[in-house]
Structure 1
């Protein structure tokens, strides 16, 4: 991680991913939860971290439409 903002972003999106994973056992959010928990290990730029995280959070809603 480059900065503390990237670290904080990884923690926030990882926590949201854990919620998606737990909720996803009943719904379609399981894969998005796993992706949210893991992608921050590979992305170090803050802007990409935010863009991918927001995209993964929106993915289950876009697929249902």
Structure 2
């Protein structure tokens, strides 16, 4: 539940502070915000989301995003 609530709060903050990026309509939560929530929660579980070795293997930046833009959750 806390992941869901955190996503909602970050989405609301983004909508409020960056209205020019979100015209009237339905939008998918930007991956950057979704991964920010994941990092915050996994950190409390002592889980490392990405290491340099994983990053090199997957050919993605350590800081993300980890999924291509076409990926939908």
TM-score bin, normalised by smaller chain: 0.3 to 0.5
Give the structure-1-normalised TM-score. Answer: 0.36
Q: TM-score, length-normalised on structure 2?
A: 0.33
User: Rg larger in 1 or in 2?
Assistant: 2
